[in-house]
Structure 1
Amino acid sequence: MGIDLEKLFEILAPLINGTPMNDEAVGSTFRRLMSALMTFDYVVVFAYRGKERPLDLYSTFDAKDHVLFVSLYQAGPYLLDPFYHAACAPKPGVWRMRELAPDRFFSSEYYRTYYVRTGLAEEVGFFVTVSEQVTVVLSLMRREATGVFGPAEFALLKKAEPMVAALVRHHWADLDRRFDAALANMGRSRRKAVHPPADGVWQHLNLTEREAAIIELVLQGHSSESIGLKLGISTGTVKVHRRNVYRKLGISSQTQLLSLYIKNLGQ
């Protein structure tokens, strides 16, 4: 697909005067900009701040897919998403999902029971930091029938990153306030929000801090070797902790672990 320069300049023209736009207008502008460069199936834009529930800023899903890609995701699975962890790092720029995923992500239970249901061939994200704590991730998704983004397409996305970052920082500059408002609407203070849903799960299941750290990395798709490197402990020690946690929880598989995790997120 060739670049439609006429369409691209037409889209860019209204942005020059800096008129503030709402979420739908910003998201639609991003979608139109990207569609002038290449084809894709979906767009979704989330804002992340720590482990708080991400803000759904824009998406192009129909009602059925919105439940899977947005509503269900916001309920807790985002905590296991490689894009979420890259946003928290943060890692600004343009990234493929497979560049950010842990070494066992594509064989993890999270991938098999949740992510694979999306039917995606690939997801690429623009990671834009808008404040000290907030990162906006604008995802372009392709289904299996469309195929992955080729090297030339990915290189073009990287060239477009400064333009996308400028768009996001100008029009989504007040996201800290919106996160605070979302917490206020839930009747929770900013101070209490530092205890995220996942932390509550581990406390409810009576895991130690070390056990919780290891099991969370297991669910994210890290191998025992990767966990050992991240935590500075031996692979053997990781395996011992995993066995102890499984015995403590009365489970024998990662399938049961994920089920227990999701079940307890809301408690």
Structure 2
Amino acid sequence: MKGRTSRGDDFGDLAAVVAATREASGDRFGEALVAWLSRHVSFDHCVVFGYRGAARPPMLFETFSPSESHVFVALYQEGPYLLDPFHHAAVERKEGFWRMRELAPDRFYASEYFRSYYSQTKLAEEVGFFVPLPGKDAVVLSLMRLKASGPFGTADARKLRDMAPLVIELCRQRWPELPETEQPAPAEKNAPAPVNEFDRTHIWESLSLTVREMHVVDMVLQGHSTESIARSLGVAPGTVKVHRRNIHRKLGINSQAELFARFIQIIEKRR
């Protein structure tokens, strides 16, 4: 999406965005906002997700083709979103403009999540506008550049950061609250709870892990190194290594790839 520079056209596009905040269709607002943003910064894709704790995030707007949407939306909603740095930042109530590199754990780009899922997106970089809503909900508008386009330049990132207050307010006007999600059927007695809370670690409760081991598993899957986990938990790196060995023994696994596969398997069983 190539930016244009006419001031009159720019103000006209911005007026269309403001008008679209009052329309029932989220697509019209998204299209108008993308048209305005693309005048200032080039990007390949835009997607808007709503986040409500660890619940499956509704997709509010996208610019993907059907095949692209399968990776960026359908597969993402099946469970990988729980390991997404953008998801974590949203539920932690961050606001403003953020680049993925500013939010990702220190070993994110070497994590199994990145290798198994995120690499499928073929992105050079993802940036986002983070919009906390009343209660614990949030909206994130992501702009993406493919590897063929290269990452956002410093000047582009600075411009988007300057535009953030306006973009955030426009998104709040369009989505003052998230759409209601379909409520799951009542669970049978002793059945695992659905994944619908902020704390993701509870998905491991059926696997005889301690609370500390569950936190370690969660951080490993996010892409934190042993040293990063140790700093976060206030323990020695050697203690984290012991936890990781115990986790592998209890789960009967030998690698992070097997841990990620077990994570996806558990998520699928809980849907």
Contact 2:53 2:197 in 1 (8 A): no
Give the Cα–Cα distance (whole angstroms) in 1 for the partners of residues 6 and 223 of structure 2. Answer: 39
Alpha-carbon offset, residue 16 of structure 1: 4.8
- In the alignment, is the contact (CA less than 8 A) between 1:200 and 1:265 conserved in 2? no
Distance (Å, rounded) in 1 between the aligned partners of 2:186 and 2:17: 37
**Which residue, 228, 251, 258 being the options, matches 1:226?**
228
CA distance in structure 2 between the aligned counterparts of 1:256 and 1:192, rounded to whole angstroms: 23
When structure 1 is superposed on structure 2, of 16-25 and 208-217 the one drifting more is 16-25
Does residue 1:48 correspond to 2:48, yes or no? no
- CA distance in 2: counterparts of 1:146 and 1:116, whole angstroms: 16
State the match for 2:190 in structure 1.
none
> Does 2:134 correspond to 1:131?
yes
- 92, 117, 138: which is aligned to 2:120? 117
Shift of 1:152: 0.7
Q: Which amino acid aligns with 1:265?
A: I
Structure 1 residue 28 and structure 2 residue 26: aligned?
no
1:8 equivalent in alignment to 2:13:
no
Structure 2 gap segments, 5+ residues each: 188-192
Q: 1:242-261 residue pairs with structure 2 within 5 A?
A: 242-261=244-263
The answer for the alignment partner of 1:95 in structure 2 is: 98
Q: Is the 8 A contact 1:96 1:123 kept in 2?
A: yes
1:169 deviation in Å? 0.9
Superimposed CA distance per residue, residues 226-255 of structure 1 (whole angstroms, 9 cap, x where no aligned partner): 111111222111110000000111111101
TM-score for the superposition, normalised by structure 2: 0.90
SS of residue matched to 1:67: helix
Instruction: Indicate if the aligned counterparts of 1:48 and 1:134 stay in contact, CA closer than 8 A.
Output: yes
Question: Is residue 198–residue 265 contact of structure 1 (8 Å, CA) maintained in 2?
Answer: no
SS in 2 for 1:95: strand
Tell me, yes or no, if the aligned pair for 1:8 and 1:33 is still in contact at 8 Å: yes
Does the C-alpha gap of structure 1 residues 188 and 163 become closer, same or farther in structure 2, counting only changes over 3 Å?
farther
The alignment of Structure 1 onto Structure 2 pairs a total of residues equal to 261
Give the conservation status (yes or no) of the 8 Å contact 2:48–2:141.
Answer: yes
> Equivalents in 1 of 2:50, 2:240: separation in Å?
33
SS of the residue aligned with 1:173? coil
Q: d(CA) in 2 for partners of 1:14 and 1:114? A: 36
Q: What corresponds to 1:187 in structure 2? A: 185
For the Cα contact (< 8 Å) 1:81–1:220, is it kept in 2?
yes
1:214 to 213, 216, 222: 216
Aligned 8 A contact 1:44 1:60 in 2: yes
TM-score (norm. length: structure 1): 0.91
Give the one of 61, 65, 70 matched to 1:67: 70
Alpha carbon RMSD of aligned pairs, Å?
A: 2.1
Q: Is 1:153 aligned to residue 151 of structure 2?
A: no
How far the C-alpha of 1:149 sits from its partner, in A, is 0.7
Distance 2:143 2:89 in 1: 16
Q: Residue 182 of structure 1 aligns to a residue in which SS?
A: coil
Checking the alignment, whether the CA contact within 8 Å between 1:197 and 1:266 is kept in structure 2 is no
Distance 2:196 2:171 in 1: 26
Distance between the aligned counterparts of 2:56 and 2:230, measured in 1? 28
- d(CA) in 2 for partners of 1:68, 1:131: 30
Identity %: 45
Instruction: Give 2:262's aligned amino acid.
Output: L
Question: Given that residues 131 and 168 in structure 2 are in contact (C-alpha distance below 8 angstroms), is that contact kept between their aligned partners in structure 1?
Answer: yes
Aligned partners of 2:46 and 2:143 also within 8 Å:
yes
Q: Distance in 2 between matches of 1:141 and 1:192?
A: 31
